[in-house]
Structure 1
Amino acid sequence: MTDRIHLTGLTVRGTHGVYDFERREGQDFVVDVVLELDTRPAASSDDVADTVHYGELAGKLAAIVGGEPVNLLETLAQRLADACLADARVAAAEVTVHKPQAPIELTFGDVAVSIRRER
C-alpha cells in the first residue's frame, strides 16, 4: 500500500536559467511534489514525527529553489527530488518545477519539468 502526500504551488523566487538576466533579476518558480510513503504509522499514532512534516519539507525545498542557481529545470528538479528522498520513509517522489516567466517570446501558459525518482 502506497499513500501520497501532495505539496503543490510552493512559489519561491530563484535565479535559475541559462541567461545572465535570469541570474541577475531572478523570477518565481513554482514547485509541486508528490511523496509516496506508508502513512499508516502516523495515522495510528496521530504523531507528526511518524510522517513527513510537510512544513519542514516546504522549507527545505524553498531553500534549494532560492539557493545556488543552476542552468536547467532538470537539475533543479533533481535536487528537489534528492531532498524529498532524504527522508528514508519516502519510497518515491514526483517533482514538477514550473517556470511561468520563462524567457519565451511567444504567448504560453507554463513551462515545467516533471521527474519521478524512487529508491
Structure 2
Amino acid sequence: MTAEPAEGQDHIRLSGLRARGHHGVYDFERERGQDFVVDVALEVDLAPAARSDDVADTIHYGELAERLVEVVGGEPVNLIETLAARLAEVCLADSRVRAATVTVHKPHAPIPHEFADVAVTITRRRP
C-alpha cells in the first residue's frame, strides 16, 4: 500500500540560487547590474515520482534553475516584485505545480544604511 500525500503537503525547494541581473529603479543599477538571490518552493504531488523513481515524473530542479537564471539575467524591471512575479510564472508553467512561492533577495540594494537583507516573497496558485 502506498500512502497518497495530503493536499498541499509535498514541496520542492530551491534555495539560494544566485544570478546577475540589471534590475532596479536607478540608472546605475541597470548599468552595473548586481547579484540577486532567489528561493522557490513548489507545491507539487511527488507521489508519482516516488513510485516510479523517474525524474520525468517530477520537476527537474536543474532545468528549473536554468529557466529562473534566464529570467533574472533577462529583461530588466524596476521592481523586484515584478521580477518575483515573472519567476512565479516560470514555476507555474509546469502544469504539475499547484502553487509557487518565490522570494527574491536583493543583497546589494542601494540603501545608505547597514542592512542584512531586502527581499520580497510572493505566492501564486494555479486557478
TM-score band (shorter)? over 0.9
Corresponding residue number in structure 2 for 1:76: 83
Give percent identity, aligned residues only: 70
User: 1:48 aligns to what?
Assistant: 55
Which residue identity does 2:10 align to in structure 1? D
Rg (Cα) greater in structure: 2
SS in 1 for 2:39: strand
Aligned pair count reads: 119
TM-score under structure 2 normalisation? 0.93
1:63 equivalenced with 2:67 (yes/no): no
Residue segments in structure 2 that go unaligned for 5+ positions in a row? 1-5
Uncovered stretches (5+) of structure 1, i.e. residues with no partner:
none
1:8-27 CA-to-partner distances (Å, cap 9, x unmatched) read 00000100000000000000
Kindly provide the CA deviation profile for residues 50-73 of structure 1, in whole angstroms up to 9, marking residues without a partner as x.
Answer: 000000000000000001000000
Name the Cα RMSD after superposition: 0.4
Structure 1 residue 112, shift from structure 2 partner: 0.2
2:37 is paired with a residue whose SS is: strand
Matched, 1:28 2:43: no
